[in-house]
Chains A and B, each alone.
Chain A
C-alpha cells in the first residue's frame, strides 16, 4: 500500500491557524495559499478542519472550499461543525470530496450509517479525538477535544467501521501541536482493530515521527500540520493582509517554532522511501 501524506489545514474564519492540543490558535496565513503550495509539491490529499465551526462563519468556509476545488485536483476532506445530512450535502456541494464527523457521530452514531448510505461509504470519514486517561485507557472526546463522552476509542472505532464509514482519523489530543511524535500505541491499536484505512493525526515534529507512525503504528495515511505549515511560513512571506482578527503575534515575531523540525513534502516522501515505505513520489 502507498501511504498518503495529508496536510491538515485548521481554518478559523478566513485564516489558517495552528494550535496546541487543538487550542491556543495562532494565525499563519491564508488557507488557499498553503493548499496550492502543498498541491504543487505532491500532497496526496488535503483536510480542511473548521476549528471553531460556528455557523456565522460558515459562508467564508464555503468560499474557501469552492475556490480550492476549482484549482486543486486531489481529494479534499472537510471537518468541523458538520451535524446533519443537510450539512454534509452543503459541504459536498461547495466542492469537498469527503466530510469528517466527530461530535455529531458521538451524539448520534446512526448518522454514520445514514450518511454512508446516502453519499457512499468512501465519502464519510469519522475523526476520533482521543485523550489518554490516568488509568491508561483512551477515551473519545467531542467538540475539538473539549467535551468528555466516556466512550472508549477501541470499541468506538469498531462501531464506526460497522456503521459504514470509509476511513477513520485518529487524533491524539495529548500530542497534537506538540511536536513530540504520534501516539504510536493509540494508532497501532486502532489500525489493527479495523479493516478500513486509518489516518494518524497529532504530534509530528520531525521526519522520523512519520516513519514511526507507519512502521510501528501501522497507519495507512498520515495527517501533518505543524511541520509543513511552519516550513511554509519560513519559506514564504505569508499574506498578512486582512488577518487582523485572531492571534497574529506569532507571525509578527517572525513565525518560528522551536519544537518543530520543519520539512516540505518532497523531504517527507524521500525520507519515507529511504525507510522502505511506499508512497506516491
Chain B
C-alpha cells in the first residue's frame, strides 16, 4: 500500500482514470495522493472524490472497497471535501439510472438523465461532451470559484445531472440544449462540480488551487 497522503486524498474506487486529477493537483503545488485505503482517507486533511462512468457501478465499487462509511464519516468530520463529475452525483440521495439507485445522501436531491429530445422535438446528443458555460447563481466570494469569471467555459462529460432539493447549495448553473441544470454546489464543507476542472484548461486547473486555499492557511 502506498504511503498515506499528508494533505489531500484522491479517492480511488477503481472506476476511472485519476491521473488527470493528480496532474492538476501537482500543477497547483498541492500535496495529493491517490488512495483506496480508508485509514489514509481518514488521516487526510481534505479529500477528492472523482469519477466517470455509471452511478450504480460506482456505488457497488465503493461498497466492495468498504469506502461508503469512511467517506460519509470524512464528510461528517467537517473536513473539506470535493466531488468531480460522477463524484458530485454520488453525493446525492438517489439516481434514476436503471430504475432507482441509492447514493451517499450527503446532499438531498435527485440525479436525472438528460432527455433525448428537446421540448420542440429536436434531437439532443447524450452524453453532453464538450465545453459549456457556467453561470453563477450565488455570490462566489470565498468559494473555490471566486477567481472564475461568470460565464466561463468548462469541460463537461455526462448523461445525468443533479437536482438538489434545496436550491441554496447551487453555486453555478449550466444550460445544455435548453435544459438548465446545477453544474456545481457548495454545501457546508462540500464543494463539487459536474464539470472537470482538471480538463478545463488554465481556468479549470486553478480551481484546485483555489479550493486548497480555502483550507490551507
A interface residues (Cβ-Cβ under 8 A, vs B)? 1-4, 39, 44, 69-70, 73-75, 92-93, 95-97, 117, 119-123, 166-167, 192, 195-197, 220-221, 279-280
Contact = CB atoms under 8 A, between A and B. Distances in A.
A1 B179 CA distance: 11
B123 interface: yes
A268 to B, nearest CB: 14
A123 B177 CA distance: 22
Interface in B195-215: 198-202, 204-205
Interface core residue of B124, B127, B202 (most chain A CB under 10 Å)? B127
Given A195-B116, A197-B130, A119 B199 contact: no
Nearest to A96: B17
A196 B199 contact: no
Main secondary structure of the interface of A (DSSP, over half): loop
Interface string B109-131: 00000001000000111111111
A197 B125 CA distance: 6
B61 to A, nearest CB: 11
B27 A73 contact: yes
B20 A69 contact: yes
A133 to B, nearest CB: 28
* B interface residue count range (under 10 / 10 to 19 / 20 to 34 / 35 or more): 35 or more
B104 to A, nearest CB: 19
Given A2-B132, A120-B53, 20 more contacts: A4-B130, A44-B130, A69-B23, A70-B27, A73-B20, A73-B199, A73-B205, A74-B200, A74-B201, A96-B17, A97-B199, A117-B57, A122-B157, A123-B52, A166-B127, A195-B124, A195-B126, A196-B125, A196-B127, A197-B125
